Structures are given as C-alpha cells and as structure tokens.
Amino acid sequence: MENNTVTRADLAESVYEQVGLSRNESSDLVEQILDEVMAALVEEDNVKISSFGSFGVKHKKARVGRNPKTGVEVPISPRKVLVFRASHVLKERINKAVQVTDTTSQF
C-alpha cells in the first residue's frame, strides 16, 4: 500500500482540469478556500464540508502527564487542538474502498 499525499498543487491541478480555470486562477481559488477554513478555525468556528466532514477546535485542560521512558511526572499546559470528524458519506466511501481491496487481494 502506497502512502500518497495530496498537496495544494494537486488540488489546484484538479481544479484546473475539471473546472477549466487557468492554472493561476485554480491555485488562487484553492488558496482562498484554505485561507477561509483556517481563518474560521482560528476564530474557533466550526467548519462543515457537506459529505466530507467537519473541523473544530477543542480546548484541553491542564493535566499531569508522565514521561514514558523515565516515569517522571510532567505538567502539560492547557491547549487547543484541531479535531476532524468524518461524515457518514466519507466513512461509507472509505469502507467500500477497503472492501473492494480486500476482495481483490484474495485471488
């Protein structure tokens, strides 16, 4: 199984091929969309993309952690973390892809 990464350039190229904008316009569009998503998350708004999933910011409280090597207790300060929750549509598509791969690998 290969680990491929989809980059901004890949997204812009896809927009260029499917929508018909110029390469520069496609790249600018992808950048604008990502900037809007980031700005909303910085403001701690939720971002929901229909049939894909939702992004949000969760607050973590301060707590005491432990260094796994030494066992020494270490304070962990409060922080914000980004969370993603996949939509049921995305989950179903992923599971269908896994089922197709599993059945083809049996032969």
Q: Please tell me the pTM assigned to this model.
A: 0.75
Confidence band (pLDDT; 50, 70, 90) for 103? low
Contact 42, 35 (CB under 8 A): no
Q: Tell me: the pLDDT tens digits for 12-49?
A: 999 999 998 999 999 999 999 999 999 999 999 999 99
Task: Pick 103 or 72 by higher pLDDT.
Answer: 72
Tell me which residue of 57, 55, 54 sits closest to 89, measured CA to CA. 54
- On the question of pLDDT at 2 being above 90, the answer is no
What integer best gives the mean pLDDT of the chain? 91
Q: What are phi and psi of 6, to 5 degrees?
A: -90, 125
Split at pLDDT 50, 70, 90, the class of 105 is low
- At residue 99, the pLDDT reads 72
